[in-house]
A and B are shown apart, each in its own frame.
Chain A
């Protein structure tokens, strides 16, 4: 069975500071990895994904994540956060035993302070 662990439930950070949201997964098979973002009172939106190829993937709003197979991690980073980045972030893996539906981590609430 797949599982995803997000090590921090909340991450407070000041505006323009760097941030890292940690994600570890376990799986006995190759998986696809995703980060989704949920702004307050909204549904989830895809932020970025790793399918294959380059282990560093980037989003259009400055986030990046690196797939590390040996450490089974997919940490999300941003060098300088904005107030508008305040949201909950979910790491997820595809589950080949469930039609490749997603198994999510518990979420990390990023709180950017002025």
Chain B
């Protein structure tokens, strides 16, 4: 199993550009989520999904969209990039309820100029 994969690993955008961060898992996990990691702030939840066709907002959803058309994929879209979205983005998945272990991808480092 590849686990949780994320592409790209690195990305530089200009303010106002849009892009999609890809996340896929091959463990048949129902739960998937996106976090952003900023120095001193830990990880903050952006959006999450408890199954295909179901998504909900986390702590910091503004400026991001998600969809979950399949169990395997959970892309994160930046609609109009801003410098405040410069961060490291992690996708995670877990089986059933998240008192089960969450498996994290390797992260995408995004810089917005």
User: Interface size bucket, B side?
Assistant: 20 to 34
Query: In residues 87-105 of chain B, which contact A (Cβ within 8 Å)?
Result: 90, 92, 97-99, 101-102, 104-105
A 34-58 contacts with B by CB, 8 A:
42-46, 49, 51
Q: Is the CB of A43 within 8 A of B106?
A: yes
Query: Cβ of B104 and Cβ of A99 under 8 Å apart?
Result: no
| Any A CB within 8 A of the CB of B41 | yes
Cα separation A102 to B98 with both chains bound (whole Å):
8
Decide: B45 and A98 in contact? CB cutoff 8 A: yes
Residue of A100, A101, A105 with highest tally of chain B CB at under 10 A: A101
Minimal Cβ-Cβ distance residue in B for A91? B42
Q: Is A67 in the interface zone, CB < 8 Å from B? A: no
Which residues of B are found within 8 Å of A99, using beta-carbon distances? 31, 48, 50, 56, 98
Q: Is B45 a contact of A101 with CB atoms below 8 Å?
A: yes
Contact residues in A for B40 (Cβ distance below 8 Å): 9, 106-107
- Residue of B41, B50, B90, B102 with most chain A CB atoms under a 10 A cut-off: B102
A103 and B45 contacting across the interface, CB-CB below 8 Å: yes
Judge if A24 is at the interface, Cβ distance under 8 Å: no
Interface residues of B in 31-66 (CB under 8 A from A): 31, 33, 35, 40-45, 48, 50, 56, 58-59
Give the B-binding residues of A (Cβ under 8 A). Answer: 4, 6, 9, 32, 42-46, 49, 51, 90, 92, 94-95, 98-107
Known interface pairs A4-B42, A100-B97, A100-B98; 9 further A-B residue pairs with C-beta atoms within 8 A, sorted by A's residue number? A6-B42, A43-B104, A51-B99, A98-B56, A99-B31, A99-B50, A102-B102, A104-B43, A104-B44
